[in-house]
């Protein structure tokens, strides 16, 4: 059933920039926060539930720690709030190369994050090839890497997905080419914001029939009022393609206007009402 949901991107200003790198040799935490959080991530699941959101995407950019004790506490916070951790968004790791050594390093990196996703109790994971410009050779190589990653994820009990995110996957043809070469049944996130530009609707039209979740971004005017036309057009495309899954209410453009003109949960409510206007009774009650 279609549901309105949220993610750490919805709260990205409050959550700061706690992201660190994984040490390539040990797979353990390295580095420190570049911008401290104003909100404790451990409190977020309960707050999401209090606002009627019961599905959540968590980006690795917003995890302040991968220490086992912290992961246990965060998993408990989701379970106690009865908020499903839909996906861990693995925003790092590159497999978009024909260099076997570099690609193997990217595969290893993404697999380590998958193991962390299992510890968190996530239902699935999302990752993408990388930031290089796609070529026929790198599409084939990325597809091979995706085949290995898919099988590893499934063995862990995770549902793998990719997204029109980062340079390699921004063009629908390249994204779909990787999936074709992977020979695996991947989920797809259709991201409204990443499709911005003159080919936005063509991109979404191409990937929406395969979409298993949506990252929904909006446009606002100079006063911060939501511009419904574009948002509802994207949502209508999803409805007409038979979309049936969570719609993660993300953020808005221009970012500075979006941030300073509304409380984050008031924004989420506004966006949820736009979803309700398009999906009506198909939208899950209380979400």
φ/ψ of 258, rounded to 5, equals -60, -45
Architecture of 3-208 per CATH? Answer: Alpha-Beta Barrel (3.20)
pLDDT reported for residue 130: 96
Distance (Å, rounded) from C-alpha 47 to C-alpha 44?
Answer: 5
R_g over Cα of the chain: 18
Structure tokens at 216: 């929904």
pLDDT along the chain (287 residues), means of 10: 95 82 66 74 98 96 92 98 98 95 96 97 98 97 98 98 97 98 98 95 97 97 94 97 97 93 94 96 70
β-sheet bridge partners, residue 17: 35
pLDDT reported for residue 287: 44
């Amino acid at each position: 059933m279609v549901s309105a949901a949220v993610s750490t991107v919805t709260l990205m200003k409050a959550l700061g920039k706690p992201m660190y790198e994984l040490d390539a040799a040990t797979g353990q935490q390295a580095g420190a926060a570049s911008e401290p959080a104003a909100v404790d991530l451990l409190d977020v699941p309960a707050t999401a539930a209090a606002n009627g959101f019961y599905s959540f995407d968590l980006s690795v950019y917003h995890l302040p720690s991968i220490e086992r004790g912290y992961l246990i506490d965060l998993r408990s916070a989701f379970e106690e709030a009865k908020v499903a951790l839909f996906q861990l968004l693995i925003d790092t790791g590159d497999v978009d190369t024909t260099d076997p050594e570099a690609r193997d390093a990217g595969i290893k990196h993404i697999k380590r994050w998958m193991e962390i996703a299992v510890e968190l109790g996530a239902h699935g994971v999302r990752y993408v090839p990388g930031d290089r410009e796609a070529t026929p050779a790198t599409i084939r190589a990325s597809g091979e890497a995706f085949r290995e990653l898919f099988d590893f994820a499934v063995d862990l009990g995770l549902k793998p997905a990719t997204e029109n995110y980062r340079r390699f996957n921004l063009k629908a043809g390249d994204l779909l080419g990787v999936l074709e070469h992977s020979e695996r049944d991947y989920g797809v996130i259709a991201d409204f914001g990443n499709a911005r530009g003159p080919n936005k609707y063509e991109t979404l039209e191409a990937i929406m029939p395969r979409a298993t979740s949506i990252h929904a971004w909006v446009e606002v005017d100079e006063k911060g009022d939501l511009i419904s036309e574009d948002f509802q057009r994207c949502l209508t495309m999803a409805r007409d393609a038979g979309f049936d899954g969570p719609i993660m209410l993300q953020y808005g453009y221009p970012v500075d206007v979006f941030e300073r003109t509304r409380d984050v949960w008031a924004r989420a409510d506004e966006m949820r009402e736009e979803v309700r206007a398009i999906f009506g009774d198909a939208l899950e009650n209380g979400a």
